Structure 1
Amino acid sequence: MYSFLTTINWPDYELIDSGDFEKLERFGDYYLARPEPQAIWDKNLAQAEWDKRAQAIFKREKGSSEKGQWQLRKGMAQQWFIQYEYQAMKLRFRLGLSSFKHVGLFPEQDPNWKFIYEATRQLNTKPPKILNLFAYTGAASLAAKAAGADVTHLDSVKQVNYWARENMEASSLNQIRWIVEDAMKFVRREVKRGNVYQGLILDPPAYGRGPNGEKWQLEDELNELIKLGAQLLDPHDNLFLINLYSLGFSGMILENLINQNFQQHAKAQQEVGEIYLQDQGQRKLPLGTFYRFSTVLYNKIETK
């Protein structure tokens, strides 16, 4: 089933406007303006309205597509917390202004956090083992933990894992396993050990580096990652989720890779499609593709 997923009913987040390669967002009490390469249309609001609202504006360095500096208005915090709730899941995320325009959270992942929470709760294995690779600041890890999972969280950046631990503690959760390592090295070793997980969450970047300088290039590594993931995932009691943010990677690429490598897994529910955010002018901002399935029937979650 081809689906379009978006973020809804989150009081602490909204996409206000988008256009001219930028987006204006509200995270809790603060309004941020950041670059957005997909927003090629005109802004809905006048520039004067953006200037009035934005308390932090990210300006790229000359010659860089990501790195830059934040321009802050008086009263803008460098760090702050926002709330996230879904059913009995109550999370707190610490946000901060990084030199790469990120704030420590990807709010478009809201429908996937709900999927993780719902599916994890209904897995037959108690507690289910969930592996989250390229796990960043841990929102998906927290969703699985809140549902009762034994969670292994892996990211190659030590400081990011510290940030994820802060989010865990702020959310009154505990006992997540933290690993700082190159994802491919870890997965190859887990396959050799014969380890099995009931849940596999993959959030690979387009490119990156491991803790010892290991090179990650999505188009070069994704096929092997999926093959190894199929060997790690319980074929009878499972959930699987992968997100791709890289421009040019369609859902059909994911569908081909998953269907080829996960033939032994009973996919009771499976979806492939796109994730987007909708601004107040009703424009849909595409923010990546996803593929997910689970052998358990989870309750209907809000996706539109």
Structure 2
Amino acid sequence: MKESILSLCPSHWTDYELIDTGGFEKLERFGKFILSRPEPQAIWDKSMPESEWRSIAHAHFAKEKNNPEKGQWQEFKRIPHNWQVAYKNPHGLDLTLNLAMTSFKHIGLFPEQAVNWDYISETLKTFPIAKPKVLNLFAYTGAASVAARACGADVTHLDSVKQVVTWSKHNMESSKLDGIRWIVDDAMKFIKREQRRGNTYHGIILDPPAYGRGPDGEKWILEEQINEMLKVCSEILDPEHHFLILNMYSLSFSSMIAANLIRSNFPKVDNAEHGELYLVDKFEKKLPLGIFFRFRS
């Protein structure tokens, strides 16, 4: 298996900016609005003084002491509950994405994933297939699904949370698209059914959390189940024209683990790339935000 080891950072995005990082926080601009949020990877000092962070931020997420993923937003300036940002790349991809401040610090968008939206767009344009089938698992608010649909793919979007599937529909409609197939289900159960049915996909996108629950309480633990999931994915990925993207955010995982998982489960992998996803703040500090592995035929 020939492979490239890369670090990938989005560029050319006027509606997003990582302003500063440090002190276990990050300061970001999404469109017109600036937010400060917890960031466990930012273990260094901030480049800007705390007073400047607070003076320019519209809102700050204050986490609970006993649950770092949950808390509440403190608003310093007027900010709408919902707003939109645009993502356009030089190759014609044009998305409109809806954002909102949630009680789990997330706002409906992971900016570092823009490099994968570009990859999906570039790859689908090379396929000699009128309507490639793409499956997006653990799809969250669906920017990758919308990117694939914008390139003419027949997209199946799956998440276990009904509310984020509804959010994804809004992203599709705001991007002036339609036709995505929406599934609220447990990812493992769904792909095993697809395997039994003999269904295949030209593209599979996996963005699993470290821990999660299916709609009926099914337990997901990344390190215990990702190997089995990739085994099943190898059976439903079209053998001739295909791509696969695997993202993992576990702090204990390296991209070498992802490479070993792919080697173990896919008999032939071409044009493989793996490494880190990251963002760069205005002071040139690089913030790592997960690992990836991707390949295409």
- 2:73 and 2:101 in contact (8 A); partners too: yes
Superposed displacement of residue 5, structure 1 = 0.2
Per-residue CA deviations over 1:33-83 (Å, capped at 9, x if unaligned) read 000000000000011110111111000112112000000123111110011
Quickly say closer, same or farther: Cα 1:266–1:291, change in 2 above 3 A.
closer
Q: Quick one: distance in 2 between partners of 1:4 and 1:89?
A: 22
- 1:134 and 1:183 in contact (8 A); partners too: yes
Per-residue CA deviations over 1:91-132 (Å, capped at 9, x if unaligned) read 100000000000000000111100001101211222100000
| 1:13 to 2:16 alignment | yes
User: Which 5+ residue runs of structure 1 have no aligned equivalent?
Assistant: 296-304
Within 5 A, what are the aligned runs for 1:158-169?
A: 158-169=162-173
Among candidates 276, 279, 284, match of residue 277 of structure 1: 279
Letter in 1 for 2:108: G
| 1:101 to 2:123 alignment | no
Q: How many residues align?
A: 293
| TM-score, length basis structure 2 | 0.97
Within 5 A, what are the aligned runs for 1:16-165?
A: 16-86=19-89, 87-165=91-169
Superposed displacement of residue 221, structure 1 = 0.6
| 1:259 to 2:249 alignment | no
Q: Quick one: distance in 2 between partners of 1:288 and 1:183?
A: 20
Q: Quick one: distance in 1 between partners of 2:265 and 2:193?
A: 19
- 2:22 and 2:47 in contact (8 A); partners too: yes
Please list every run of at least 4 consecutive aligned residues from structure 1 whose deviation after the TM superposition is greater than 3 angstroms.
none
Letter in 1 for 2:227: N
Q: Quick one: distance in 1 between partners of 2:147 and 2:95?
A: 8
Within 5 A, what are the aligned runs for 1:222-241?
A: 222-241=226-245
2:208 — aligned with what?
204
Q: Quick one: distance in 2 between partners of 1:65 and 1:34?
A: 11
| TM-score, length basis structure 1 | 0.95
| 1:250 to 2:250 alignment | no
Describe the SS at the equivalent of 1:293.
strand
Describe the SS at the equivalent of 2:247.
strand
1:301 — aligned with what?
none
- 2:59 and 2:77 in contact (8 A); partners too: no
Q: Quick one: distance in 1 between partners of 2:274 and 2:161?
A: 29
Letter in 2 for 1:18: T
- 1:66 and 1:100 in contact (8 A); partners too: yes
Q: Percent identity?
A: 55
Q: Quick one: distance in 1 between partners of 2:10 and 2:18?
A: 10
User: Which 5+ residue runs of structure 2 have no aligned equivalent?
Assistant: none
In angstroms, what is the RMSD of aligned CA positions?
Answer: 0.8
- 1:61 and 1:67 in contact (8 A); partners too: yes
Per-residue CA deviations over 1:160-197 (Å, capped at 9, x if unaligned) read 00000000000001000000000000011100111010
Per-residue CA deviations over 1:276-301 (Å, capped at 9, x if unaligned) read 00001100000000000111xxxxxx
